[in-house]
Amino acid sequence: MVSRRCRLAFFASLCTASLGLVAPAGAQDVSGAAFSFGLFGDLAYSAAEEPLMANVLADLDRAPLAFVAHVGDLGSPRAGSCTDELWARRLAQFQASANPLVYTPGDNEWTDCHDEQGVAGGEPLERLAKLRSLFFTSERSFGRRSIALARQSDSPQYAKYRENARWDLGGVTFLTLHVVGSNNGRGRTSAGDVEFAERNSADLAWLHEGLAHARADNTRAAMIIQQANIFPRFSPFPGNPKQEPDGFAELRAALAKEVMAFGKPVVLVHGDSHYFRMDKPFMRRQAGGGDPVVENFTRLETFGSPFHHWVEARVDVNDPNVFAFRPCIVPANLMGK
Residue 33: the pLDDT is 77
Task: Name the more confident of 320 and 21.
Answer: 320
pLDDT confidence bin for 335, thresholds 50/70/90: confident
- Specify whether the backbone of 73 is left (phi greater than 0), alpha (psi in -120 to 50) or beta: left
CATH number (domain holding residue 32): 3.60.21.10
**In this predicted structure, what is the pLDDT of residue 284?**
74
Instruction: Please tell me the least confidently modeled range out of 187-191, 212-216, 301-305, 311-315.
Output: 187-191
Closest listed residue to residue 330, CA positions, set 11, 5, 71: 5
Distances (CA, A) of 117 to 102, 107, 121, 248: 28, 12, 11, 22
Q: Rounded CA gap, 57 and 316, in Å? A: 25
Residue with the larger pLDDT of the pair 336 and 230:
230
Could you tell me which residues come within 8 angstroms of residue 114 by beta carbon, excluding any fewer than 6 positions away?
A: 122, 123, 124, 188
pLDDT digits (tens, 9 = 90+) for 204-250: 999 999 999 999 999 999 999 999 999 999 999 998 999 999 999 99
Continuous segment of H or E residues that includes residue 270: strand 266-270
- Exposed, middle or buried by CB within 10 Å (0-12, 13-18, 19+), for 237? middle
**Tens digits of residue pLDDT in 147-186:** 999 999 999 999 999 999 999 999 999 999 999 999 999 9
Give the range of the structural domain holding residue 180, as residue numbers without chain letter: 4-333
Above 90 in pLDDT, residue 23? no
The mean per-residue pLDDT over the stretch 127-153 comes to 97
CB 291 within 8 Å of CB 256: yes
pLDDT value at residue 292: 78
What average pLDDT does the segment 74-91 reach? 94
Per-residue pLDDT tens over the stretch 180-213 = 999 999 999 999 999 999 999 999 999 999 999 9
- Burial code (b: 16+ CB inside 10 Å, e: under 16) for 269-304 equals bbbbbbbbebebbbeeeeeeeebeebebbbbbbbbb
Is the pTM of the predicted complex or chain greater than 0.75?
A: yes
* Res 28 pLDDT > 70: no
Kind of pairing between the strands at 277-279 and 297-301:
antiparallel
Number of domains in the chain: 1
- pLDDT confidence of residue 286: 55
Contact in structure between 305 and 274 (CB atoms under 8 Å): yes
Average pLDDT over residues 111-133: 82
